[in-house]
Chains A and B, each alone.
Chain A
């Protein structure tokens, strides 16, 4: 089938109503254009790449959960060996495939500075396989493998792994976090990544109505609240120098974010206060990193 449309996420895709991932994919593929190879792992994007219904109109391959960055690097090298130097290789990994089982391949590739554009589509859990917990699930969230109970009242009891900072610390040319609720920031980062050579990492928060338990018309609002509370920090880095790209003037309480989502329903006030403290500390740590970088620059 020849490419006939400018929209690369085709209509009739099987993602849930209100899925943040759908919005993200639409924008990323549109911004990158057709000299792009899409790598789709087992994840919520997986159903876009079925035998009789391939919903991304780009050359693609359904890959494994474990090796997103490595196979991407191989594809890039293979295409270059065949004389195709201008193709963007785009692994579209979930947060499970990134923060957990694919982290080693990701680190290896980032360290080598392979010329790929790695996107982590973060819905904060293993969603397509039944809402299990990942290292990217925030503290306090219920998932089917981090249920809250008498012996573990928080549900998930460890804070979200910060893969953006891990990748930045590999001194890669470009890394960023983004969210479709901040569309111009998101688009600028995709364009920046696309015009940069070497290893590029974009970590996108995709609000997930099904896994988080909110109404599908509130997807964009959830992204806004995640950033305004400081639960998710918008930042970027060039060669390890991290800077926040959006600092909320006055952060709103974490409670105003989590109250909309049934995954946090079990939390008591004192637990929410604990989480607020962790979020504050992490936010301040980012501000300090930013100040250090600003000092270096001035």
Chain B
């Protein structure tokens, strides 16, 4: 089987980008990815754009991005699966290349989240869950993950302090990432004292909305080898789903879609969880990172709280997790996040991550969750 490799990666600054439109954000990341790949735009056969449309004033964002990148009449299309849209775009690019239809495809994840007024954001927040039977009780995105946290604490004795240690770690590394929204370390006691959001969560348990874009360029094996000396191979792709409604999940202490997607990706890449040196996992809320350790097999179910407490997900531990700051400190422009994760793994596997470089990183993973685990994409990357 021929492989698919990443030959270029670019990342813009995440944050409140009131200086730029969504296509201007996309351009920043695209320009950097093209430069990084050292190729001309003519090499591209197609683009895939990842974004969640309801946040943008501009409808059909792929069209405006494609025009602004001056890529007409090359094909483009949009992927949307909530916060996992970026990884879905990478998956469709991988599929397009594996099918033989295209050889070189750019994936652009871009999102403006601060374009809407606060009232509009609050209205959207009230519709993240299943709207017929759940949202009518005022459920929110943090509220749902808080319900997972309540169960995780009850079943395994996980503590709120352990959850906030995830935030402390991610801010520690976010401080070293020039593209991150928050570039400041935080203290546990201050995090514990932050305002309540949805019990047990307070403000520091939650990631922040942001604007931003990231871009990776994928190519088939022959073009990748011809165009690049530093290919990072996407050797395993996994994707699975779970019920929209939390009422119809088998349990609320993990994401079954993540377990399944992880197993698919590990099998395809012929690696085991212990082979992963560096991972980007979907820490939209602190409990989500703890459940990710368990769902991906970095530790046993129920041991995730201990895993962070013992710093086993820091650089120097078994697997370095979210050393770019994660969604928590880097910010979460939902369409861009999955591509941003892939960017970090590419930099890590090439040994170009600077201050936050994980030593001897040769196999990496991204774990990108849409919504409350309705969709999970797990990708395994390798440097030969």
Q: Do A and B come from one complex?
A: no
Query: Which residues from chain A sit less than 8 Å from chain B, CB to CB?
Result: none
Query: Which residues from chain B sit less than 8 Å from chain A, CB to CB?
Result: none
